Structure formats: C-alpha cells, structure tokens
C-alpha cells in the first residue's frame, strides 16, 4: 500500500506541535496520573495532565524542572520527584537536601538522612526542630480538601502534626503530650468551631494566638474523663452528628462541659445535651443542658 501523503502530512504536524508549542503537547507521561511529563523541552510538572487540550484554562499550571537529569530522574508521587542531584516539590527545587537519601517516609513525610522538610506555602526547607528523621512521620489525617469532580471530602495527612519515636511536634514545636496515646478526636480549625485532641490523661484543643508565629498553639483544657462525647449540633433542625469534621465547639468530658479552650460547666448531672446552630458564617452555638441550662458562647444565661 505504501505511505500515503496524508500520513506524512499528519506526522509533520505532530512533530511541529511537539517542537513549537509552548504547552506540553505530545508529552510522555512519567507517572500514571501524568503530573510529571517529558517532551522535547525537558521534564515538567502540571496539575492537569491534558492541559494542552485546554491551554487557556486558568486553573492549569505547568513548570519545567531546571537542570533535571532524564537518565536518573525518578517520580516519587504526584507532587514529588528527584534525580541524582536534585529534589523537586511539583516543579519547585528543594534547597539544602541530600538527594541520594531523600525519600517520602510514613504517610508521605519528606525527609533525607539528616532532616525532615517542612513547607512555607510552596517551598520546602529543613525543619529546625529536633525531630528524628529516621522515625519521623505524619500521624493526623483529616478531610481538609475536596474532590474537584465529586465534591466529596478527601482525607489528607496534616503537615503541621509530626511525631518521631519520642515526641509529638505541632508547627515544629515539641508539645507536652503522651506520645503513645495522643490522637486527634474531631474537628479542625479551618472549617469548624471545635478542634479536639486527647491522650491518656488530658483533653486538648488548638487555640489561635495573635502575633504568635505560628498562629496556633495546643492548649490543655481538662483532665480526661468518661464519657467523652462530641456534642452534635443541629442545622435547620437536622442532627449533624455524622459530619465529624464539623463538630460542635462544645465537648462533654465526664460531668464537665468544655467550650473551646476552657471548662464552661463543672460537675453537672448530664441527662441530655444538644447544640443549636444559629445564624450565618459568624454564628453562635447554643448548648442546652437538661433542657434548662443554656450556654451562649460558653457563658451561662444566668450569669
């Protein structure tokens, strides 16, 4: 049959697109989701693998990895890669890193033989805390993002929380908790009024501190008692107890009722509890105890 003229024309068009276009058309995928790709210009990272079909879409980003070696290049996951001399987060180079020993440890924590790496927005740099790289890990997993297509909450490991074989670290600061039993209970500060943690002895929450870097600190609220209960709140009359990442800012701890970072009511005979959600974004939460005692923002009505 021979080679038809139209086939030659199409082959020339494809070659032209690969060489001439500023977008990564005709690229080879280097990982199965396509975030790292290779074309004639070099290796690049993109948040949308097929962006060359939609080059004007504002949410598409692409960046070429400077001085990347094709022959020693290795993709670690959708946002991390390295070669024999460099490490990249997306397409941003990581500074002061030992590329030969760099890896993503338990639950994706970035580390090399000497350091654990923490982020400042896009850039990663060696942590200044005394965490042990050999045993370092992320250990708190929260639904802090949402799937673009389904709208469902996606669980992600929270980088502000790290631990090693000895200690727990919050924003690179060692916190005074029991390493073996400390855990997240419910909530997180980005989308809920209450964020609760416990270990074998105490209940903790995260408090915002103005003029403090980092802007949050872990505070001990009360000694741990049983029963321990996240008090569900009601939205438009519907019990929202299943939305675990949107809990109430009230917590039952034995016979105490906790509100944010303090004990609102001590030693009360609790028969029933409910929290009512009132208003819009900057709304109040009323806690009704035994159908008689009402707390507004943690304060009793009769005070």
Whether the pLDDT of residue 104 is over 80: the answer is: yes
Note the pLDDT of residue 281: 46
User: Does residue 25 surpass a pLDDT of 80?
Assistant: no
What's the pLDDT score for residue 47? 81
Cis, bond preceding 297 (omega within 30 deg of 0): no
Identify the pLDDT of residue 142.
81
Tell me the pLDDT tens digit for each residue of 123-135. Answer: 899 999 999 999 9
Share of the chain above pLDDT 90, in %: 46
The predicted structure's pLDDT at residue 260: 87
Long-range contact set of residues 15-22: C-beta below 8 Å, sequence gap at least 24:
21/52
Tell me the two tokens of residue 17: 């697109």
Q: Which residue has the higher pLDDT, 18 or 248?
A: 248
23: pLDDT strictly greater than 60 = no
pLDDT of residue 24: 46
Mean pLDDT for all residues in the chain: 82
Average pLDDT over residues 141-164: 77
State the residue for tokens 């000497």.
Answer: 114
Residue 80 has pLDDT above 90, yes or no: yes
| pLDDT tens digits along 36-77 | 988 888 999 988 766 555 444 556 678 899 999 999 999 999
pLDDT higher than 90, residue 207: no
> pLDDT: is 260 or 59 the higher one?
260
**How would residue 1 be classed by pLDDT, with cut points 50, 70 and 90?**
low
pLDDT band at 81 (very low <50, low <70, confident <90, very high): very high
pLDDT exceeds 50 at position 22: no
Q: How confident is the model over 174-204, as pLDDT tens digits?
A: 999 999 999 998 877 655 567 899 999 999 9
**What separation in angstroms does the CA of 13 have from each of 20, 40, 43, 46, 298?**
10, 15, 22, 24, 69
User: In the numeric block, which tokens belong to residue 105?
Assistant: 């440890």
pLDDT of residue 282: 47
How far apart are alpha carbons 222 and 233 in whole angstroms? 22
Cα dihedral value 243, 245, 246, 248, nearest 10:
100
Query: Within a 13 Å sphere around the CA of 212, how many CA atoms are in the beta-carbon half?
Result: 11
pLDDT at 106 over 90: yes
């Amino acid at each position: 049959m021979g080679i038809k003229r139209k086939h030659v024309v199409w082959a020339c068009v494809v070659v032209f697109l690969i060489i001439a276009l500023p977008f990564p058309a005709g690229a080879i995928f280097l990982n199965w989701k396509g975030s790292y790709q290779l074309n004639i210009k070099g290796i690049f990272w993109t948040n949308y693998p097929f962006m060359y079909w939609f080059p004007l879409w504002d949410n598409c980003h692409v960046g070429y990895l400077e001085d990347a070696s094709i022959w020693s290049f290795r993709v670690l996951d959708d946002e991390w890669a390295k070669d024999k001399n460099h490490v990249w987060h997306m397409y941003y180079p990581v500074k002061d890193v030992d590329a030969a020993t760099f890896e993503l440890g338990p639950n994706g924590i970035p580390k090399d033989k000497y350091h654990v790496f923490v982020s400042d927005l896009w850039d990663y740099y060696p942590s200044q805390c005394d965490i042990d790289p050999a045993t370092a890990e992320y250990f708190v997993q929260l639904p802090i993002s949402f799937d673009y297509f389904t709208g469902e909450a996606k669980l992600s490991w929270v980088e502000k929380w790290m631990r090693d074989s000895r200690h727990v670290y919050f924003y690179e600061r060692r916190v005074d908790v029991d390493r073996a039993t400390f855990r997240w209970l419910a909530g997180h500060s980005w989308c809920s009024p209450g964020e609760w943690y416990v270990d074998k002895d105490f209940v903790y929450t995260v408090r915002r501190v103005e003029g403090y870097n980092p802007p949050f600190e872990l505070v001990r609220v009360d000694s741990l008692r049983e029963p321990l209960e996240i008090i569900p709140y009601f939205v438009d009359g519907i019990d929202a107890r299943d939305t675990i990442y949107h809990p109430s800012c009230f917590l039952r701890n034995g016979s105490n009722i906790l509100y944010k970072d303090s004990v609102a009511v001590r030693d009360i005979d609790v028969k029933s509890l409910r929290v009512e959600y009132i208003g819009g974004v900057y709304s109040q939460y009323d806690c009704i105890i035994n159908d008689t005692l009402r707390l507004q923002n943690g304060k009793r009505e009769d005070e």
